[in-house]
Amino acid sequence: MCQKRNIRRSSGNTTTNSGRTPEWISESINGGSLRHVDLHTGSNGWASPPGDVFSLRSVNYFTKQQKSPAGDYLLSPAGMDWLKSTTRIDNVLSRSDNRVSHALRKSQTLGRSLKSFVFAVNLQIPYGKDHHSAVFYFATEEPIRSGSLLDRFVNGDDRFRNERFKLVNRIVKGPWIVRKAVGNHSACLLGKAVTCNYHRGSNYLEVDVDIGSSAIANAILRIALGCVTSVTIDMGFVVEAQEEEELPERLIGAVRVCQMELGAATVVESVHSPSMAAVARGNGLAKVNHHKSADEIVGVNG
């Protein structure tokens, strides 16, 4: 299996003055239980699809209903984790055992990457007696542009986030039943479909997406997990544009999950265990929660 070392370029600045990717991001990309694999031939790993495989709302969407290729990501890929625990895994970036946070802290103790910001999406998946999390990380070395739609999302309230956080997906490879259940080239406002919990730290925002909060979403996911080793899927994350001046839409980031094996998950301690409970009580990080559960997947026109 060819391991892919080069990441998809984005408009987010994640290079040093010498033009190299910072060591902490390289460490995050190449660590974890799922490898960073070749975009076209990789399996049991993740890759970064070109943004143009997604169609998002174009500059004249509200007048002509036109979409256009998404282009580069706003933030750069910074790795993926596939985790398993006996309880739901919340706010992974605040955990003392999170490898991405650890890599960034180590870099900052050396006076590097002091302006870095991390955006993470944590898909929380109940499966049998265990709880899994597929966590996707994106980063920038420079502050997010003030007043931008992404800035408003990062620093907004839970109501704004729930109305705007959109998942776009594309089944690259998979059996008919998965294509039928999940849909292809579909879009979903996650905050209106399932419970999303938002965790805002000093240099990160994590979105915890509780798939188990929706019976329909959970059923669809079980179908997909039943043949997950034969499924390759692209997922893109977007702050939906709902006003003319917010167009065109841009991808925050995207990931291709390639024929993942459930058994590849890294086992992490429950936050309720003695060692992690002390960390949880003392993390001191701001947290905004959305507790309203949804009974069905809410589709959007894109």
Q: For residues 77-84, give the mean pLDDT.
A: 98
* 182 lies in some domain: yes
123 within domain boundaries: yes
CA-wise closest residue to 80 among 149, 133, 22, 128: 133
Q: Which amino acid is at 82?
A: W
Cα(81)–Cα(87) distance, rounded to whole angstroms? 16
**Does pLDDT of 4 surpass 60?**
no
Residue 221 lies in a domain: yes
Q: What does pTM read for this prediction? A: 0.86
The yes-or-no verdict on residue 280 having pLDDT over 50 is no
Residue 98 domain flag? yes
Is residue 53 in some structural domain?
Answer: yes
Tokens of 42: 């990789």
List the domain range (segments joined by +) for residue 187.
Answer: 25-289
Give the pLDDT score at 219: 86
Residue 8, in any domain of the structure:
no
Residue 87 located in a structural domain: yes
Segments of 128-267 assigned E as strands: 130-140, 165-173, 186-189, 195-201, 204-210, 232-239, 251-258, 266-267
What is the C-alpha separation between 50 and 107, in angstroms, rounded? 28
Domains in the chain, number = 1
Amino acid of residue 211: I
Residues 86-144: tens digit of each pLDDT: 999 999 999 999 999 999 999 999 999 999 999 999 999 998 899 999 999 999 999 99
In angstroms, the CA 262 to CA 64 distance is: 43
Residue 7 resides in a domain: no
> By the 8 A CB rule, do 150 and 252 touch?
yes
pLDDT the model gives residue 293? 29
Residues 288-302 pLDDT 10s: 333 332 223 344 557
SS3 195: strand
- At residue 283 the predicted structure's pLDDT band, cuts being 50, 70 and 90, is very low
